Amino acid sequence: MESYGDLIAADDVLLFVNAAITSTGQREFHSDADEQRLSLDFLHAYMLGNYRDLYAGILALDINDHNAVLIIRHLLETTREATAEQRRSEGRLIEGRLAMLPPQRVYRLFGALRRARVNNRRTRAIMRDWLSARPDPALDAVKYRGGLKRALRHAHLVPANDELATFVFAPRTRARYETPLLETWRRAHYEQGALYGLPYTAAEGFAARHGIPRTVFLERMAPRMTRLETLRLQESASRHGATGVRADLAGMPLTRLAAYVLSMPVADRLRRRAELTRALDSAAARVAGRHRGTWGTVTAVLDDSFSASGSGHKRRRPLAVALACHHLLAALAGSYTGLWTSGRTDALLTHPYGPTPLGRRILDALDTAPSRLVIVSDGWDNAPPGLAAEVLRLWRTRIDPGRGTSIVHLNPVYDAADFDVRRLSPSVPTAGIRDAEDLPALVELAQFAEGRTGLAELTAYMESRALRMTHGRRPEEAR
């Protein structure tokens, strides 16, 4: 039997996980950036002070990079408060999570630790191990030279060879480099053609220095751009008349692809309907993996109300998550029905508009007799207010007390005022979601919020995820 304290701890962990998945400290539709940051900072301090072991273990869950970095920083800043066993366990989790983070975030983290004067032996060892594991030190030296130099100085480290050390600390003092990329960087100072052998972020500065027209630069750099750089610059290139910069939709992550689709004018979506639909379905099938078609009869209620427009920092992000979930659930289900709050039936043309009649759409969804009902919404039920909560309460207590229909609410927006994502009903589990790719794992996690599951089961789940991460295996594509 779990103690009351264990039940409270489990609830606290789930509350924090929801925040760590959805909030990035940026403005949302219903709250500004200051509210988001204050709320998130309080939760981090509360978890670190009361549940240090669980706080560290959350690094193994599908939280966003912003909160992963905050957890790592707080753990390293408070090394003296940890026991020897905690330091060992935290070190493995930190190492595993750093390997999953984009390198620019890691270098920014190292810079924050330097500014905070966090320079204990554990921090230096973690920095040393991460830097030594980088697959291409020369690329890091060219692309992130400032961050790399600060990290090396802070951790009292020396680059792997003299040539790399010279490049990092005094790059213009060498007449020639043997490493091809470093030599390309040197020649790019006086030879225009050389800059096209550099990464885009490094080449851009040289192009401006040489006065190369933007159109010419983008056309010639297109083969060197990463997929995300191409996606980000495609519209800019089109405005400048550079036609060779075109994003390859094959292999693009599902949620990012959905956001790209929603950024397009309706006329372009109509013109490219077959291509975009095929790309979304293919991305969803990759995420579903071997679990494709195994979820039985699934109905989704998807929020495309005006609040799904997000904010200036997260433009259309809630709607992009809903669209990506729509395609993923269709791939996972044996039989699928998607219901948008607006009543639209063409998902590709969806856009944020109108109120949020969640209660009515949930009634429509339950009429389809699904084995699973998934609700993707920010939880602001307002047409009429409170109807969704009452429908779900009556369904759980009067119509389906045996829980023949599994219901879960996935919320992509953090509610700073309540220190949690907004919930529809106490009778239905709610989990925060940032990327649709995490949906299967979040549906699994949401079960711990149903029926007040205790701390032991939740801790065992977190330990299994930690074991998977620290052994170099990413979570399964779907469960």
Indicate whether 375 pLDDT > 80: yes
Of residues 463 and 95, the one with the higher pLDDT is 95
Q: Tokens 């400032």 sit at which residue?
A: 146
User: What's the CATH fold of domain 267-470?
Assistant: Rossmann fold (3.40.50)
* Residue 254, C-beta contacts closer than 8 angstroms, at least 6 positions apart: 280, 283, 284, 286, 287, 324, 327, 328, 435, 436, 437
What's this model's pTM, rounded to 2 decimal places?
0.86
- For residues 194 and 81, give the distance between their C-alpha atoms in angstroms, rounded to a whole number: 51
Residue ranges of domains in the chain: 4-173, 267-470
- What is the reported pLDDT for 251? 80
- For residues 221 and 440, give the distance between their C-alpha atoms in angstroms, rounded to a whole number: 38
Give the model's confidence band at 479: pLDDT under 50 very low, under 70 low, under 90 confident, else very high: very low
* Residue 299, C-beta contacts closer than 8 angstroms, at least 6 positions apart: 336, 337, 338, 339, 365, 366, 368, 370, 372, 373, 374
Joined together, the tokens standing for residue 400 give: 């389906």
Give the model's confidence band at 299: pLDDT under 50 very low, under 70 low, under 90 confident, else very high: very high
Indicate whether 165 pLDDT > 90: yes
* Residue 242, C-beta contacts closer than 8 angstroms, at least 6 positions apart: 214, 215, 218, 219, 222
Q: Average pLDDT of 424-448?
A: 86
Checking DSSP bridges between strand 420-421 and strand 414-415, what pairing results, if any? antiparallel
- For residues 207 and 196, give the distance between their C-alpha atoms in angstroms, rounded to a whole number: 9
Q: Average pLDDT of 99-121?
A: 95
Cα three-residue angle 255-256-261, rounded to 5 degrees: 95
Give the model's confidence band at 252: pLDDT under 50 very low, under 70 low, under 90 confident, else very high: confident
Indicate whether 49 pLDDT > 80: yes
Joined together, the tokens standing for residue 161 give: 């060879």
Which residues lie across from 337 on neighbouring strands? 299
pLDDT digits (tens, 9 = 90+) for 376-425: 999 888 889 889 999 999 998 899 888 889 999 999 998 887 778 888 88
